[in-house]
Amino acid sequence: MRIKTLTFYGLFFYLIMVSCQQSVLVKKEEPQALRPDSILYYQQKDIPDPLLDAVIGSGPDTLVLHTRLIPPPPPPEKFRRIEGLRVQVFAGLDSLNAAGIHYQLMNQQEDSVYFFKDKGLFKIQVGDYLYRPDADKKRQTLRNNGFSGAWVVQTMINVPSDSTQADSNSAVGPMDEKVFRIQVLATGDKDRAETLAEELQQSFDLPAVSRKVDDLYKVYLGKFITRQEAEEALKQVRTQGYTDAWIVKE
């Protein structure tokens, strides 16, 4: 009886052990094969580039040309800066007032209008004039239009690149008798004008004359064929204290 009992328990434990081992074993499943149109199997192809393909695939017999491209020269400047005259309308610290005046002038004037800051002041100037009569005419026009404080200033101006050369050529032409002079004074005192003309002629050894133009007596010095000659003489005149002298063409 005892042997049967032991045999029974032994068989019972054996069956329990076998069942546990079977539950531990897990069947390994095979990975699922992807469909041929899956994105994992999509291989993007590069777009052919003829230039790169030719460079990469060039053999020893391929000739590569190296060309040096030289840029064209810059176009000639349309304007050049020389000493001349402008009509100054405003000079002050108020930028808003200056901007308002500049806007008015841009809508009224056909000449160039310049708005800039110089030595801490906002300035507005009009025109580019080689000769004082032209600047005086523009000054009077501006005063008639409400800018009563306009005045003529001497400064660097912008002129077309060929304008001064054309001016010189016309001055030496056989049919052009106009000359350049230096105007030193314009006054209503006849005696003062004549006295100054005599002093200038003695000081600079150049012809000096006093002429009545409208209601003023004007004193002119020199008689120059080209503007360049007049500018050289003008420098000497100003160094002698006549800082308001300027060049006129007659």
- pTM of the predicted protein model: 0.41
245 in the same domain as 169: yes
Residue 165 has a pLDDT of 46
The two most distant CA atoms of the chain are separated, in Å, by 170
- 180 occurs within a structural domain: yes
Identify the domain containing residue 224 by its residue range. Answer: 162-250
By three-state DSSP, how is residue 176 classified?
coil
Same structural domain, 150 and 210: no
198 occurs within a structural domain: yes
* Domain closes at, from 105, 130, 161: 161
Residues 250, 167 within the same domain: yes
| Judgement on whether residues 138 and 101 belong to the same structural domain of the protein | yes
Specify the CATH number for the domain of residue 127: 3.30.70.1070
**Which residue, 115, 134, 161, sits at the end of a domain?**
161
Q: State whether 134 and 166 are in the same domain.
A: no
User: Do 183 and 137 sit in the same domain of this protein?
Assistant: no
* 154 and 205 housed in the same domain: no
Q: Are residues 156 and 167 in the same domain?
A: no
- The encoded tokens of residue 183 equal 């105007």
Taking Cα atoms as reference points, which of 250, 184, 240 lies closest to residue 217?
A: 184
| CA gap 11, 143 in Å, rounded | 131
pLDDT of residue 124: 93
pLDDT of the residue at 3: 65
pLDDT in tens, the chain (250 residues): 566 666 766 666 666 665 655 444 555 566 666 555 555 555 556 666 766 666 666 555 555 556 676 778 877 777 788 888 999 999 889 989 999 999 989 888 788 899 999 888 899 999 999 888 888 889 899 999 889 889 888 888 988 876 544 444 433 333 345 788 899 888 888 888 888 888 887 788 788 888 888 778 889 988 888 888 888 888 888 888 888 888 888 7
149 with 212, same domain: the answer is no
Among 144, 161, 178, where does a domain finish? 161
Q: Are residues 154 and 170 in the same domain?
A: no
Domain count, the chain: 2
Which pair of tokens denotes residue 141? 């026009």
One domain for residues 132 and 172: no
Q: What is the pLDDT of residue 90?
A: 92
Angstrom distances, CA of residue 87 to CA of 21, 124, 187: 112, 9, 21
Q: Whole-angstrom Cα distance, residue 216 to residue 182?
A: 16
Q: Establish if 120 belongs to a structural domain.
A: yes
Structural domain contains residue 209: yes
